[in-house]
A and B are shown apart, each in its own frame.
Chain A
Amino acid sequence: MHTFFASFSFMTDHFGLLADRTVDHLKLSAAAVAVALVLALPLGVWLGHRGKGSFLTVSISNIGRALPSLALIAIFLGLLGIGFVNVLTALVVMAVPPVLTHAYLSVEQVDPDLVRAGRGMGLTEWQILTRIELPLALPVLFTGIRIAAVYVISSATLAAVAGGGGLGDIILNQVSYGLSGVIAAALWVAFLALAADALFGALRKRLTPRGVLAGRSA
């Protein structure tokens, strides 16, 4: 128990250091999620709109899930060398599968009757996508982003082994920061992941059209 109390005093004594590493950690995570969104979101939504490519998205998600994060960082370390780019690439590879699968599923599961009704009303494909499918897809879509974000924040802790910085730097360096520092950083990372999870959960509720929520709870 004493160790845990010591870690709290470490947090207050070295608040600047923790804040600094947290900013690094979040920058890395945000960059990875952003790249994954740019890559996977349009593709997933488009495939979902066309209703094709379920095999592709399912395979990518299955393979993606099977890629151990530390192994990925190790493999990219050999390919890309030490540093930000290596870790970023590894994290992007981890973030793409949940985003892609959920983007695909979210659009694909929209009631085909609604899409047909829209088409009957003379909406263009783009209007069908933006006015019918995407608003209805938003909750599932957001779940994918949430899973990716939490997973990336969690895995970014491993970035330290490849010179990516972040809070893992403190956790892996007991020689410099002592046990209390390591515990403090570990608690901090855990808090960060839980906070991100809660934040995205709240955002999802906020962004979901009221009609969709009502329909869901009914």
Chain B
Amino acid sequence: MSSALLAATGPRPVIPDFGTVSSCVRDNGLFCVDWFTANFSSMFGPALVQHVRLTVIAVGVGFLIAFPLALLAHFRRRLVKPLGGLTSFLYTIPPMALFTLLVPVFGLSVLTAEIALVSYTLMVLFKSSLTGLGEVPEEVRRAGEGMGLTRREILWRIELPLALPAVISGLRVATVTTISVVEVAAFIIDQGLGSPIIQGLQSPFNTQFIGAGLLAVALALAADGLIVLVGRLLTPWARTRRTV
């Protein structure tokens, strides 16, 4: 290789050196650990970080929209049906269709992806928050009134803490769903674990798309477990199973 070419392509050649490649990579094994670890810092790691970032933003913004809406619907019951219907409608639109439809309006940007991602979280977060707020037994609320609590104090001291388990289980479902939808977002933005999958599918080499796929599954399971754990710590009084 001439030094001019070396300078143009940088010190690390883009084309893999087929001379020293492992037999797994040469034979295109199902999952080559050596290739996966060798490319982790350049490909899978950054994609994983982007995936987490996109998910956290979507669930965070989704919660900031859905929870106030649930509060509103909790006090104005006639809003329950229209808000529930709207969020269900958004949830039912297939992710790929929604991403595609938003692109002509907002362009190929992270904003477009996040708008779609947020819209998927709303249904789960709205319903779980509303269920949680409604879960307070009437006697408990009455007892609060009897103790002289104002409506606001009842909300903060009684209804919100008792709503927490349902809200957390909603966050759990929303997070896991979002992790799944972020993969699809890679069709419009070059971010997240969907991106190595989609690029990897262009060639028959297995490790890239299987690796990214496994990583996404691992991420979803880890996030699921983490939220369950945080939920247990936050609600030590609720040792009930509210998993379904």
By a beta-carbon cutoff of 8 Å, the part of chain A in contact with chain B is: 3-4, 58, 61-63, 65-72, 74-75, 77-79, 101, 105, 150, 153-155, 157-158, 161-162, 168, 171-172, 179, 182-183, 185-187, 189-190, 193-194, 197
Contact = CB atoms under 8 A, between A and B. Distances in A.
A161 B201 contact: yes
A68 B30 contact: no
Given A77-B209, A78-B209, A187-B101, A168 B96 contact: yes
Q: Which of A70, A77, A190 has the most CB of B within 10 A?
A: A70
Contact of A68 (B96, B200, B217): B217
A162 B173 contact: no
B93 A71 contact: no
19 contacts: A58-B241, A61-B244, A62-B243, A68-B220, A69-B180, A69-B184, A71-B193, A71-B212, A71-B213, A71-B214, A78-B31, A78-B206, A79-B30, A161-B198, A171-B97, A186-B100, A186-B101, A190-B98, A193-B97
A3 B104 contact: yes
A182 B188 CA distance: 13
A74 B177 contact: no
B213 A157 contact: no
B212 A74 contact: yes
Given A68-B183, A157-B96, A78 B221 contact: no
Contacts, number: 124
A23 B101 CA distance: 22
Given A75-B214, A161-B201, A194-B89, A187 B221 contact: no
Contacts of A66: 176, 179, 217, 220-221, 223-224
A101 B244 contact: yes
A58 to B, nearest CB: 5
A194 B197 contact: no
| Most chain B CB atoms below 10 A, which of A61, A71, A75, A179 | A71
A151 to B, nearest CB: 9
B92 interface: yes
A70 B93 CA distance: 17
A194 to B, nearest CB: 5
Contacts of A161: 198, 201
Interface in B15-42: 30-31
Contacts of A70: 180, 183-184, 186, 194, 197, 213, 216
B137 interface: no
Given A157-B94, A183-B100, A190-B101, A62 B224 contact: yes
A193 B243 CA distance: 27
B197 A71 contact: yes
Nearest to A174: B100
Contacts of B223: 66
B67 interface: no
B62 interface: no
B210 interface: yes
Contact of B183 (A71, A101, A179, A190): A71
Contacts of A185: 100
B26 to A, nearest CB: 16
